[in-house]
Amino acid sequence: MLPVNIPDFAAIQTGYEQMWATGQLQIARNEVVADPIPGAVSGSARWGISVIARFEADFASRLLALGEELRPLCGENHTLYDASTLHTTIRACEFYRAGVTGDDASVETYQRVLGQLCREFGPFRVDYAGLNGNHTGIIAQGYAAGELPSFRRKLRGQLAACGLHHGPEAAGVRRTTHASVMVFGGPLAQAGAVAGWLAQRRTLPLGPAQLSTLNLVKYRRTASSVELVVLDEVDLSG
């Protein structure tokens, strides 16, 4: 069952349905692509510095179990998220930049703004229901309840006031709170079976997740893994 009573449900769900409308056929036909690996060249819309939240162990275990169901259907040439990498993105702050260090001027601004804002907000609740996928990977659908949308708007506004209004979310505030389960690394072992498996779980209840701590991270990405390098960690203490 989907959480139809949350704010902005219709707009969020429309995005997920549009993803599935094209993604189902892409997966069934094995028209998937290997996620590009960022290297020394900056500018990719993916894998830039982001504010993310990890999941508590109980909720994470549900997504990990689904990933293990997927593994034999998809094959071994993909990135399956694990307990240390499962997360949801609160804001992708910028496009990918190579060679970011802890004393980077933008990082210092992100840290300051995030620390101040987290003192105004308590933990966030996100309801998860349904799996989805397209040519790049598989996600669990998330629906933010409570004050997370307000936090995102304030974060965007405060970063803009500091001259950091850029990156993949410059045009607006992120609505979705999905969690990636797998990123494809090439063709699927059993493409039709993957599409059918997802179709049976489009409204699968996954339960609520409480997000109590936010991380500012950069990513290290290889063909078979993703690592979250924590630049800062802040509790939601409001």
Q: Is the pLDDT of residue 176 over 80?
A: yes
b (16+ CB within 10 A) / e for 98-134: eebeeebebbebbbebbeebbeebebbbbbbbbbbbb
Q: Is the pLDDT of residue 41 over 70?
A: no
Q: Please write the tens of the pLDDT for every residue from 133-146.
A: 999 999 999 999 88
Evaluate whether residue 1 is within a structural domain: no
Range of the structural domain that residue 191 is part of: 9-235
CA-nearest of 64, 203, 60 to 129 is 203
Q: Which residues contact 106 (CB under 8 A, 6 or more apart)?
A: 49, 93, 94, 164
Give me the number of domains the chain comprises: 1
Q: Strand 179-183 and strand 79-80: pairing?
A: antiparallel
d(CA 59, CA 63): 7
Q: Please write the tens of the pLDDT for every residue from 48-94.
A: 999 999 999 999 999 999 999 999 999 999 999 999 999 999 999 99
In which band, very low, low, confident or very high, does the pLDDT at 151 lie, cut at 50, 70 and 90? Answer: very high
CB atoms within 10 A of CB 222: 10
Q: Is the pLDDT of residue 40 over 60?
A: no
Model pLDDT, residue 146: 87
Evaluate whether residue 2 is within a structural domain: no
Model pLDDT, residue 102: 74
Question: Is the distance from CB of 52 to CB of 92 less than 8 angstroms?
Answer: no
CA-nearest of 42, 164, 39 to 97 is 42
Q: Please write the tens of the pLDDT for every residue from 100-113.
A: 887 899 999 999 99
Evaluate whether residue 210 is within a structural domain: yes
The CATH number linked to 180 is 3.90.1140.10
Evaluate whether residue 19 is within a structural domain: yes
pTM assigned to the model: 0.94
Evaluate whether residue 60 is within a structural domain: yes
